[in-house]
Amino acid sequence: MDGSFEGASAPPRADEGYWHRAADRLVATLAALDAGASAPAVGDVFPDLALPDARGRLVGLASLLDRGPVVLSFHRGLWCPWCVGEIESWRGARPALDAAGARLVAVTPELGGRAADMAALLGPAGQVLCDVDFGATLSLGLGFFVGADLIARYQAAGMDLDALYGAASGILPIPATFVIGRDRIVRFAHVDRDFRHRADPADVLSSIAGRG
């Protein structure tokens, strides 16, 4: 799934060419570093994470799996138009997800009420967990350092990552989507260093069909 750099939090459209070139350079760097290669893959046992939800209540993955398979999707935050586009793409697929007995859980490192905003966008049937200080992101091999130049460019465009994430870590997550069965086995994994490419809900649903 591809998107364009749009939305209230996106940089001015006059700079769209710069942002796509910067993204291409970043993706090339991440490829050279083999970033994301150690993330969970199909057939792996997914770690039993425990993260606070948008209301600050600690939620364990095991408790979510008691209700059925989980689609666990790691995001950069609502400032990222591709993350917003991915969440919105699930609206039409929600009936099929519900029929499969699965649940969509989004993970965001954003703080300061932004997780609640994501939960509102996701809708009542979904859930948002907060990856405070990128603990889960790093443990799963999905974190990388953005680099001072790109951080400065984000700030110049009005996006203060330190404020959004509550820490001056300079880390961003590689967006990823996993389908985790009740046995914690990964049934589907989409980990792409290019944050403009996201998992297609149809492919995710296909991996859930006939599995528990």
pLDDT tens per residue across all 212 residues of the chain: 544 333 333 444 446 677 778 888 888 989 998 999 999 999 999 999 999 998 899 999 999 999 899 999 999 999 999 999 999 999 889 899 999 999 999 999 998 889 999 999 988 777 999 999 999 999 999 999 988 888 888 888 888 888 999 888 899 999 999 999 999 999 999 999 999 999 999 999 999 985 54
Count other Cβ atoms within 10 Å, centred on residue 2. Answer: 9
For residue 124, the Cα-to-chain-centroid distance in whole angstroms is: 18
Model pTM greater than 0.85? yes
Whole-angstrom distance, CA of residue 179 vs CA of residue 187:
5
Q: Domains (ranges, CATH) in the chain?
A: 13-208 (3.40.30.10)
Count other Cβ atoms within 10 Å, centred on residue 9. Answer: 15
